[in-house]
């Protein structure tokens, strides 16, 4: 089972980036083209990638310190023909790594106005032994004192991320996944 953990391991560099979110407030989730989908359990917001606009607790509103850009892509498993999903996480001084979206004003935003983030959980799923196709899924849950945010790989779209804001819907999604990391 050691190989399973190696495959889904999030890099130390990405863990360091995510640690920057702890203790900070999320004001907006930016995307280049935010779309909304109604599922049985509730609403999902989704796009190719999201930027989380952060501010330190002591900064005045509207003064963003940094952006954490998050997308998800599939990778081919080196041991067989299966694929798995993993996050791409990076830091930027501007929302999204796609310069065109910035230059042409094609950004959408979702206002969230969070309390400071207290904890981040990273989930990744594994199929049963012998199953082919999608081997792993990935999701991140950001916890503040009053709210949760779920970012989850969108399997139908390379690079796509779902964002779920409803607590009950979040719980239904993560109950099917295996928690890999907790950052506090």
Q: What is the pLDDT of residues 140-159, one digit of tens each?
A: 999 999 999 999 888 766 67
Q: In the chain, what is the straight-line distance between the N-terminal and C-terminal CA atoms, in Å?
A: 26
What element of type H or E holds 157?
none
Q: Is 134 exposed, middle or buried (0-12, 13-18, 19+ CB in 10 A)?
A: middle
Q: What pLDDT was estimated at residue 63? A: 59
Contact 83, 131 (CB under 8 A): no
Q: What pLDDT was estimated at residue 27? A: 84
Alpha carbon distance 156, 44 (integer Å): 14
- Give 10-residue mean pLDDT values along the chain (184 residues): 52 87 88 86 87 69 71 70 75 69 71 90 70 66 94 78 92 86 90
Q: Could you tell me the CA-to-CA distances from 164 to 49, 58, 61, 69 in Å, in that order? A: 14, 28, 24, 17
| Model confidence, pTM | 0.81
Q: Could you tell me the CA-to-CA distances from 61 to 21, 28, 52, 57, 180 in Å, in that order? A: 16, 12, 15, 9, 33
- Listed in sequence order, the residues at least 6 apart from 62 whose beta carbon sits closer than 8 Å to its beta carbon are none
Contact 118, 144 (CB under 8 A): yes
Q: Could you tell me the CA-to-CA distances from 68 to 96, 135, 173 in Å, in that order? A: 8, 26, 23
């Amino acid at each position: 089972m050691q190989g399973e953990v190696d495959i889904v391991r999030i890099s130390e560099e990405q863990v360091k980036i995510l640690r920057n979110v702890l203790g900070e407030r999320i004001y907006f989730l930016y995307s280049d083209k935010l779309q909304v989908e109604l599922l049985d359990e509730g609403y999902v917001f989704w796009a190719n990638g999201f930027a989380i606009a952060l501010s330190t607790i002591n900064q005045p509103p509207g003064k963003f310190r940094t952006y954490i850009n998050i997308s998800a892509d599939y990778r081919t498993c080196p041991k067989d023909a299966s694929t798995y999903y993993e996050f791409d996480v990076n830091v930027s001084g501007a929302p999204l790594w796609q310069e065109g979206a910035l230059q042409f004003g094609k950004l959408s935003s979702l206002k969230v106005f969070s309390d400071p983030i207290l904890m981040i959980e990273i989930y990744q799923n594994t199929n049963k032994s012998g199953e082919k196709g999608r081997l792993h899924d990935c999701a991140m849950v950001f916890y503040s004192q009053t709210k949760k945010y779920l970012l989850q790989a969108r399997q139908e779209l390379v690079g796509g991320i779902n964002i779920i804001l409803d607590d009950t819907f979040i719980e239904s999604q993560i109950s099917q996944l295996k928690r890999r990391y907790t950052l506090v």
